[in-house]
Amino acid sequence: MKKRYMYALLTLLLAAGACTKELTQDPFNAIPTDQAFKTPDDFTNAVRGAYRALLGPGYY
């Protein structure tokens, strides 16, 4: 029984110590908001992209 507690404690300590790095990452396919819409063509492309998603099977 004492070994079980030691194994459980060891597992808990190893699991808690493994999470030191920050897990959130910036998405690689996103555009920052300050660069997103600067020209009228940017708005047109955004609307086209939204409608293009509806062209998939079963969406429209």
In angstroms, the CA 53 to CA 14 distance is: 44
Interval 1-46: pLDDT, tens: 788 888 888 888 887 776 666 667 777 777 777 888 889 998 999 8
Domain positions in the chain: 1-55
Is 0.85 surpassed by the pTM of this model? no
Per-residue pLDDT at 60 exceeds 70 = no
In angstroms, the CA 32 to CA 18 distance is: 31
Regarding predicted confidence, which is higher, 53 or 23?
53
Q: Which residue has the tokens 């086209």?
A: 48
